[in-house]
Amino acid sequence: QVQLQESGPGLVKPSETLSLTCTVSDGSISNYYWTWIRQPPGERLEWIGNIDYTGSTNYNPSLKSRVTISVDTSKNQFSLKVDSVTAADTAVYYCATGAGWLPVYWGLGTLVTVSS
Amino acid sequence: EIVLTQSPGTLSLSPGERATLSCRASQSVRSSYLAWYQRKPGQAPRILIYGASSRATGIPDRFSGTESGTDFTLTISRLEPEDFAVYYCQQYGSSPLTFGGGTKVEIK
């Protein structure tokens, strides 16, 4: 079964770039869609976007101008960058994957706080 | 985007009881692409149902999903102690993918 683990700084300053990496084990990164989802405190889960094995990306329009998702097949990792963060970007960030757009396997999530 | 409204927000039940969770979509969900997830503290979300009514691999048959137009229901026929958790619906038929606000099933 595919396992995913998010990693990255837990604290980011306002206006800076949030960067997270998801490491995939027990599965090839070349065969699936790779997704980022977040949940701000007290709010619902929010789909950020995904990338497929060809490198084609899809983003939530609400975040599209600030988000980049990329994949490094040599390291079995995919990454998320969110530019110009504010307190509203404070959330638990999840990476997830599935054979299509449906996220089947999820990581445990990592809390990122935006604060000076 | 499709807005998913889950109800109730909290369901207080005893083990052995039946749980009925609702998810209403603001518009038609393409190809019944509606999933249900379970989330427990400290654990990764687990997919239970996809395609509105298909159980994911390894999910017990006490979990079932149904669809009626834009109304979707997750039923847990007899609650086991491990079923007390938060449940989310999600549509993956159109972009952006969206989630419901969640239903917490707690022990009465």
Residue indicated by tokens 């509203």: A88
In this complex, do A102 and B102 lie within 8 Å of one another by their Cβ atoms? Answer: no
User: How near does any CA of chain A get to the CA of B63, in Å?
Assistant: 17
pLDDT digits 0-9 by tens, A45-90: 999 999 988 889 999 999 999 999 999 888 889 999 999 999 999 9
Binary contact (A103, B47; C-beta < 8 A): yes
pLDDT recorded at residue A31: 73
Is any Cβ of chain A less than 8 angstroms from the Cβ of B35? yes
Residue type, position A99, single letter = A
Interface check B36 vs A, CB under 8 A? no
Taking the CA atoms of A50, A74, A108 and A85 in sequence, report the sign of the dihedral they define: negative
CA separation for the pair B28, A75 (Å, rounded): 40
Are the C-beta atoms of B89 and B35 separated by less than 8 Å? yes
B81, with CB counted inside 10 A (0-12, 13-18, 19+), is exposed
Q: What is the tens place of the pLDDT at every residue in B56-79? A: 999 999 999 999 999 999 999 999
CA-based nearest distance B42→chain A, Å: 7
- The pLDDT value recorded for residue A29 is 63
pLDDT confidence tier of residue A27, bands split at 50, 70 and 90: low
